[in-house]
Amino acid sequence: MCLAIPGKIVDLVPEQAHLCTVEVAGVRRRVDLGLLQEDIPVPGDWVLIHVGFAMTKISEQDALEQMHLLSMLGEAEQAMQEIRGYGLEDGGAGVS
């Protein structure tokens, strides 16, 4: 199943303007913001993430509801595995 996972932007990567660090349930990863150039998120914003890309900005309420729904469907662990699998650990060199 393809999952879109909510994450909170904790900071932008100054040397790579298209990257940010997001936090999902305590896990931090680099995410590409290239698809959101029309409305670039800032720290504190929530985004839906899929395979290392921020797809859209969402509200905090929507993010919490999405995580609750994933949990109810038994998909929360798969979502966390997807986040861990990006290979874009905080401090990484970039998006592959």
Model pTM score: 0.74
Identify whether 89 is part of a domain. Answer: no
Identify whether 25 is part of a domain. Answer: yes
Look at residue 92 and tell me whether its pLDDT is greater than 90.
Answer: no
Average pLDDT, the chain: 80
In the chain, how many domains are there? 1
Task: Please report which confidence band the pLDDT of residue 35 belongs to, taking 50, 70 and 90 as the band edges.
Answer: very high
Identify whether 96 is part of a domain. Answer: no
- CATH number of the domain that residue 76 is part of: 2.30.30.140
Identify whether 92 is part of a domain. Answer: no
Identify whether 45 is part of a domain. Answer: yes
CA 24 to the chain's CA centroid: 7
The Cβ-side half-sphere exposure at 42, using a 13 Å CA radius, reads: 0
Look at residue 85 and tell me whether its pLDDT is greater than 90.
Answer: no
Identify whether 79 is part of a domain. Answer: yes
The answer to whether 49 and 30 have CB atoms below 8 angstroms apart is: no
Residue ranges making up the domain that contains 52: 5-84
Cα–Cα distance, 59 to 88 (Å, whole number): 24
Burial zone of 8 (CB within 10 Å; 0-12 exposed, 13-18 middle, 19+ buried):
middle
